[in-house]
Amino acid sequence: MLFYDCATAPNPRRARMFIAEKGLDIETRQISIAKGEQLSGAFKAVNPNATIPVLVTNEGTVLTENLGIAAYLEARCPEPPLMGRTADEKGLVLMWNSLVEQQGGMPIAETLRNTHPAFADRAIPGPVNHAQIPELAQRGAVRVGLFFDLLETRLSESAYIAGPDFTLADISAFVFVDFARVIKARIPQENSATLAWFEGIGSRPSAQL
């Protein structure tokens, strides 16, 4: 297998954590977004969508989305389970992972990419340039606050995001919450359940990578 990673970006970090939690050691190539390497002809020959992460499987299949990468690795290496064991658990993990992507990952990206000069004309990842729309950043910042509310409500009733066990949904939420520092958004001091959960995930070896 071959894993295309970018040490500075949140979505590759999600896949990197998943790989580490599975105890896998996969050959890795770094793609520098800062240097625009994702837009090079060589990388677009691997992933025409020009996004990272990418996992090329032993069979040569090119997986370009976190969910696809996670599903493949979970099927290949079921232990420890990170996407649920029972039908209900599997449903809950994907449900929460989707909520975290839509209500956390998207507004954080919207806020950063529609304001930061480094993303001028790069408001959306991919091979086509898109201009920034500053109003989307304003809306994104409000939605990030709502995301912190969602996490606090959930983690006040559940040890982990999708239930009693650590899963893919925790990896996604942890990486997005940590990355929110780039838009100066942090877990509110009064959100004690989220702060305790964040500290717990942050102490796992996979979170140090």
CA distance 47 to 183: 28
Query: 140: Cβ–Cβ under 8 A, 6 or more apart, which residues?
Result: 106, 107, 108, 109, 110, 111, 114, 183
Q: Phi/psi of residue 160, each to 5°?
A: -125, 175
Rounded (10°) CA dihedral 12, 13, 16, 17: -150
Name the minimum Å distance from CB 196 to ligand GSH: 27
Name the minimum Å distance from CB 145 to ligand GSH: 21
Cβ nearer to ligand GSH, comparing 66 with 103: 66
Cβ nearer to ligand GSH, comparing 9 with 155: 9
DSSP bridge pairs for 56: 2, 62
DSSP bridge pairs for 112: none
Residues that bind ligand GSH (CB under 6 A): 9-11, 33, 38, 50-53, 65-66, 122, 125
Cβ nearer to ligand GSH, comparing 53 with 107: 53
Name the minimum Å distance from CB 11 to ligand GSH: 3
Name the minimum Å distance from CB 167 to ligand GSH: 16
Cβ nearer to ligand GSH, comparing 50 with 168: 50
